[in-house]
């Protein structure tokens, strides 16, 4: 089986007391031969490998996802409690790894309830919020988002152009003022020199008269 999707579940049991072994034993009792998921993440963030990645799953009948996807389950009931930070870190890591290995696009990372014709609350509202976040972070922007981004870039370029133009104008005015100040300084120095010479001449004339 070459998976096209990643389907994320919750166990719908108490987060902190649910074990991988207990869920596996329950599924075997149902005659599934193994735990229905390919991966299971307990409350401490530990990733447990379930059935082989090349094996058909037993986690989502809707839209034949058992034959088209890998199932990842987190221990907990995320309609009434929150996943732990360690669970979310592990989930993000394994999702990114599997996406890379099997070239699964971000939009094919789904919560169980998002699968067409699936009638379930799984994986719970609190976990769905995180799933949507990691899917958006890793997904390519839509055509509308791309156009909006290009428009923003063009507007920023225009603004940068205006700022450069304003800077150049201010720079020219500044240089002009600097030049004027230098000219005034030279003129003042020239006048100072002339005044000094004039005073010396007067003084010399006074000395000769006396």
Q: What is the CATH number of the domain that holds 102?
A: 3.40.80.10
Tell me, yes or no, whether 107 and 28 share the same domain. yes
Domain final residue pick, 91, 109, 140: 140
Tell me, yes or no, whether 75 and 152 share the same domain. no
Cα three-residue angle 120-126-131, rounded to 5 degrees: 85
Tell me, yes or no, whether 135 and 172 share the same domain. no
- What is the structure's pLDDT at 209? 54
- What is the structure's pLDDT at 38? 98
Tell me, yes or no, whether 85 and 34 share the same domain. yes
Low pLDDT (below 70) residues in the chain: 137-146, 149, 179-181, 183-210
Half-sphere exposure of 179 (CA within 13 A, CB side): 6
Cα three-residue angle 161-162-167, rounded to 5 degrees: 100
Tell me, yes or no, whether 19 and 83 share the same domain. yes
CA distance 52 to 50: 6
Tell me, yes or no, whether 32 and 12 share the same domain. yes
- What is the structure's pLDDT at 178? 74
Structurally, the chain folds into a number of domains equal to 2
Domain final residue pick, 123, 140, 157: 140
Which SS3 state, helix, strand or coil, does residue 16 take?
coil
- What is the structure's pLDDT at 68? 97
Tell me, yes or no, whether 89 and 162 share the same domain. no
What sign results for the dihedral spanned by CA atoms 129, 130, 135, 136? positive
Domain final residue pick, 140, 170, 198: 140
Q: Is the pTM of this model over 0.75?
A: no
Q: Is the peptide bond before 123 cis (omega within 30 degrees of 0)?
A: yes
Tell me, yes or no, whether 67 and 149 share the same domain. no
Tell me, yes or no, whether 135 and 147 share the same domain. no
- What is the structure's pLDDT at 156? 81
CA distance 76 to 43: 8
- What is the structure's pLDDT at 200? 59
Tell me, yes or no, whether 182 and 206 share the same domain. yes
Tell me, yes or no, whether 164 and 117 share the same domain. no
Provide the domain limits for residue 181.
Answer: 142-210
Tell me, yes or no, whether 119 and 152 share the same domain. no
């Amino acid at each position: 089986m070459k998976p096209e999707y990643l389907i994320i579940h919750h166990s719908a049991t108490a987060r902190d007391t649910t074990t991988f072994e207990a869920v596996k034993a329950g599924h075997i009792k149902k005659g599934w031969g193994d735990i229905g998921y390919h991966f299971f993440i307990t409350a401490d963030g530990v990733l447990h490998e379930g059935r082989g990645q090349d094996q058909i799953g037993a986690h989502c009948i809707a839209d034949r996802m058992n034959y088209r996807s890998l199932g990842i389950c987190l221990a907990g009931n995320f309609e009434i409690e929150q996943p732990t930070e360690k669970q979310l870190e592990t989930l993000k890591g394994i999702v990114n790894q599997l996406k890379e290995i099997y070239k699964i696009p971000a939009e094919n990372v789904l919560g169980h309830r998002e699968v067409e014709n699936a009638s379930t609350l799984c994986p719970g509202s609190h976990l769905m919020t995180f799933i949507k976040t990691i899917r958006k972070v890793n997904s390519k922007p839509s055509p509308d988002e791309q156009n909006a981004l290009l428009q923003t870039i063009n507007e920023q370029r225009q603004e940068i152009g205006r700022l450069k133009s304003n800077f150049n104008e201010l720079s020219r005015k500044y240089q002009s003022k600097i030049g004027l100040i230098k000219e005034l300084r030279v003129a003042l120095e020239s006048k100072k020199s002339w005044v000094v010479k004039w005073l010396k001449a007067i003084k010399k004339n006074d000395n000769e008269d006396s």
